[in-house]
Structure 1
Amino acid sequence: MPIAPKRCRLVFRKLERDLEKLAAQQSNETVHRFRTSTRRLQTLLEELMPQRTRKQKKLLKILRAIRQQAGKVRDLDVQLAALRSLKIPLEPRRKTRLLQGLTELRAKHEKKLRKTLTKQTVREIHKHLTRASQEIELKSSGDPATAARQILSRVATPSRPLTEDELHRCRLLVKRARYAAELAPESAATTQFITQLKRLQDILGNWHDWLTLTNTAAERLGDVNQSPLVAVLHNMASGKFRQAVAAVAASSALGTGPKPVPLTPSRKPGARMATPTLRQDPAA
């Protein structure tokens, strides 16, 4: 069944609204909503359209550049939220210093993002959105539910436990599959499927937030042997990793999952995870 017309129109309208809000204020919420809206449009054009026009490709390229800048702000927002939620008495001065450093870096990236979002740029994107929406051929579009399943089929299910790189790729694919499924006409089965994906996405996202914070803290404060705070963060990230792998293994949305979780992540404490490149999705 092709894409529901109402849902397709909503993707474009919502992105237009979220772009305006982001240009006016680069808050935690506006940054997150804009990035989500661009991902939805990207999924629509890349996964459900048999062919993308030149104008649609140009639009995605423009949005990708802004999303990447907004992503730097978003990464710091989730790190700050995670760090503030950590209620431990260890190294209060170092924790305060880390908070201040992340806040200052966030302000720096926010300023760069704001400079990018000029009135001319916003008007240009609105024009591209209008043209791209007019070129959508819903009758020739793919079935959203089928597309979502095909996206999930790219999730690695090795006989051994998942690595952090594989889990990161799984996180991106689950997110994209959810956005594809949300373009389908409403039904009880679709709603249940989306709910399963959303739950899994939240668990995977929570792990990734703590992993990112742990990597940042290790860079600024030293490894687990040099900072008790980093050691606590590493333990938190390890626990979230185990929860995420267990969730992937148990998820009915993914079918047969990987083996149960390892006792600890394979990556060495404080070492950064190499972010893999997702096919047709170069922007992390």
Structure 2
Amino acid sequence: MNFSMRPEKVVTSTMHDRLAEWGHLLENCGDKPSRKGVHALRVVTLRLQAEFERDLEDLPRASHQAQAMLQFGKLAEKLRRALGPVRELDVWIGKLRDLRASLSHGGEYVPRTTQQNVRGIERLEERLKRKRRSAEKKLVAEIEKRGRRLVKAGEEIETALSGCLFGEESGIAEELAARFRTVRAEFPTLDEANLHEFRKRIKMVRYLAEMRGSSDPAIGQIATQIKKLQSAIGEWHDWQALAQVVHSGHHAKSKDLAELLQAIARESFETALSTANSVTARMQGADLEQIEPSSLQHRSPPARSEDDWAAVEDRKLA
């Protein structure tokens, strides 16, 4: 959102709609954190964080708008951290359910090892469901504790932005591609030690692209490619985490299941690396202007004195 003094446009209802959706989801999760509700609230929260992080680049830190964004960001980060464990457990339980179903439909004859793995998955599912209930209680308590402050912060954001005028933006596709390449350059070699961190670092680009992709096919393609990459990395990370959970149990009966999950994780890792290479190549493709990763200055900032500008804290989205 490139703020300026030009009167061509005012802040649209899009932000109002996103904040209204966020408030509705927050209220629902405070009552009953369902799987879909938790996922939806987490996504909307991350999108708002991504948008405000980008907006802060064009605002003086002392401005009312920047302060409102920073306050919302601090509270949203705490909410996101409470949502994370619940969402992660939901994903793990779903993956185990699907794996168990695939192993259980192998015909009339089921090898003993497969039977043991199915029973091991059932036991692990029950463990994770218990953890999920515990994490759900913590999430409800967090929302109850900070809910009013979160809602108030959202209202202050709307008030702060209601009078803002901003000019037209251009070159968003090139900016997002450059942001991706900037992050990618920080990870010249992707491996098991840094692949998940790389996934977290490119989330901002994805969410910004998704919020603008409906109006520009090039931006929509960026969103599609990064989502594809994040999904592949997330698939590997989830199977790796599940394999570690089983391995850390040190139960003899879980040995075969741990080996199965480790094998799935290895295959997923190779897929993730392949996807990372192909997506990186596409992001450097001829459809997007070839610009250097450091060239992010196509947006014309508002006319302000140098003293007004302050460095924005590096808040990584996870």
TM-score range for the pair, normalised by the shorter chain length: 0.7 to 0.9
Cα deviation code 1:217-262 (max 9, x no counterpart)? 2222469x97110011011011111101101101144338xxxxxx
Matched, 1:181 2:209: yes
Q: Which structure has the larger Rg over C-alpha atoms? A: 2
**Matching residue's letter, 1:62:** L
Aligned to 1:100: 126
Query: After superposition, where does 1:89-168 map in structure 2 within 5 Å?
Result: 89=114, 90-118=116-144, 121-136=146-161, 137=164, 139=166, 144-157=172-185, 161-168=189-196
Closer, same or farther in 2 for the Cα pair 1:127/1:233, shift >3 Å? same
Query: Residues 99-131 of structure 1, C-alpha deviation per residue, up to 9 Å, x if partnerless?
Result: 11111111111111112222x732331221011
* Unmatched runs of 5 consecutive residues or more in structure 2: 4-10, 104-113, 286-312
Residues in 1 aligned to 2:267 and 2:277: alpha-carbon distance in whole angstroms: 16
Separation (CA, whole Å) in 2 of partners of 1:170 and 1:283: 11
Q: Deviations over 1:86-111 (max 9, x none)?
A: 13324343322211111111111111
Q: Do 2:203 and 2:317's aligned partners in 1 also have CA atoms closer than 8 Å?
A: no
Kept in 2, the 8 Å contact 1:152–1:177? The answer is yes
> In structure 2, the residue corresponding to 1:192 is in which secondary structure?
helix
Asked if the contact 2:46/2:317 (under 8 Å) is kept, the reply is no
Q: Contact (CA 8 Å) 1:203, 1:243: kept in 2 or not?
A: yes
Match of 2:22 among 8, 15, 18: 15
> What CA distance in whole angstroms lies between the structure 2 residues aligned with 1:40 and 1:189?
19
- TM-score, structure 2 normalization: 0.72
RMSD over equivalenced CA pairs, Å? 3.0
Q: 2:79 is matched with which residue? A: 66
Shift of 1:135: 2.2
- SS of the residue corresponding to residue 249 of structure 2 reads helix
**Mapped partners of 1:12, 1:125: distance in 2:** 11
Q: Which shifted more, 202-211 or 73-82?
A: 202-211
Shift of 1:7: 3.7
| Inter-CA distance 177–241: structure 2 relative to 1 (3 Å threshold) | same
1:197/1:253 contact within 8 Å kept: no
Shift of 1:170: 2.4
- Counterpart residue type for residue 57 of structure 1: L
Task: State whether residues 47 and 147 of structure 1, in contact with CA within 8 Å, keep that contact through their aligned partners in structure 2.
Answer: no
CA distance 1:12–1:140, shift in 2 (3 Å): farther
Worse-matched range after superposition: 160-169 or 25-34: 160-169
Partner of 1:218: 247
Tell me the equivalent position of 2:284: 255
The 2-side partners of 1:239 and 1:21 are apart by 38
Give the percent of matched residue pairs that are identical in Structure 1 and Structure 2.
26
Q: Which has the higher contact order (CA 8 A, sep 6+)?
A: 2
> Equivalent residues in 2 for 1:26-45 (5 A)?
26-45=33-52
What is the distance in 1 between the residues matched to 2:180 and 2:251? 37
Which string of whole-angstrom CA distances, capped at 9 and with x for unpartnered residues, describes residues 182-227 of structure 1? 333702222222222222222222222212212222222469x971
Q: 1:70 to 1:158 in 2, by over 3 A?
A: closer
Could you tell me the TM-score, scaled by structure 1's length? 0.79
Query: How far did residue 141 of structure 1 move?
Result: 9.5
Alpha-carbon distance between aligned partners in 1 of 2:197 and 2:247, rounded to the nearest angstrom: 23
Q: Do structure 1's residue 236 and structure 2's residue 245 form an aligned pair?
A: no
State whether residues 11 and 37 of structure 1, in contact with CA within 8 Å, keep that contact through their aligned partners in structure 2.
Answer: yes
